[in-house]
Amino acid sequence: MQNNFNNAPHILVIDDSPEELRGIVGLLRQQPWRLSMASDPRQGYQRALALKPDLILLDVRMPGMDGFAVCRMLRESPATHRTPVIFLTSAGAVEERVEGLTLGSVDYVLKSCDPQEILARIRIHLQLSWREPASGSRSDDVEPANQDEVSLRVAMRLIAQNLADMPSLAEIACKAGTHEKRLSSIFREHLGSTVFAYIREVRIRRGQELLSDSAMDIQDIADQVGFRSACNFTTAFRERVGMTPSQYRQQAHMKDGQHPAGGRQE
């Protein structure tokens, strides 16, 4: 690591109970690193955008917005999408650990872990990420995205990943770091659409892809994209595309010079 303090790695800790981290914070202050703290998740997210730290220690269970929502927003923000995130938390359930890693964190550590081990893990991830700026990835001219745009990106990604079992609007909003009314306004302002109209549009587009690229039957495609039945899917598809799923598949395969795929139709 470099000796110049201004060029030293910068660690940001986001935790609403900093008193639980006395051991590791004490060790961090002994290192030739810069250290910043935030006890509120929204404040922590804003500090991450402003400070562009080299690594973030992030709690999960926090009031107002949990660490998973913060991580989603960090991953969708141009200024922080490459920043290593280590969850340091008491949330030790298997499903929580899996979700944290699935969101793109580089590590998931329980607060009961020995502070020296936590420090060792931080060192490893700093060594892996501490590189000269590449393609301006750490430069100050990275175009910032405002919070509404970030929440929109998070919501759009969540929708695309959960077509078959769509969360409620309240759950999508919470995971995107906002609330129902604000998320609805964001969709109208940026996409000119309601959240539900957008979801239906994405479902139909995904249905078109599956009809063109797979031999799945209509019922299976309906299940895959979140319709209750092949009949409901067919009705919505005809209203949007102007033809039935079977007709669309046949037309797509004729354009590709293929024979129409088999399978049960609507």
Q: Is residue 91's pLDDT more than 60?
A: yes
User: What does the block give as tokens for 252?
Assistant: 């797509």
Structural contact between residues 18 and 46, judged by C-beta atoms closer than 8 angstroms: no
Residue 229: what are its φ and ψ, rounded to 5°? -155, 165
User: What does the block give as tokens for 254?
Assistant: 């004729």
C-alpha dihedral, 17 to 62 to 108 to 178, nearest 10°: -150
d(CA 217, CA 246): 9
Q: What pLDDT is stored for residue 143 in this prediction? A: 56
**Mean pLDDT, residues 69-76:** 95
Residue 62: what are its φ and ψ, rounded to 5°? -135, 150
Q: What pLDDT is stored for residue 137 in this prediction? A: 45
User: In which band, very low, low, confident or very high, does the pLDDT at 147 lie, cut at 50, 70 and 90?
Assistant: confident
d(CA 60, CA 251): 49
How many Cβ atoms sit within 10 Å of the Cβ of residue 164? 13
Residue 87: what are its φ and ψ, rounded to 5°? -75, 125
Q: Is residue 138's pLDDT more than 80?
A: no
Structural contact between residues 63 and 84, judged by C-beta atoms closer than 8 angstroms: no
Q: What pLDDT is stored for residue 253 in this prediction? A: 80
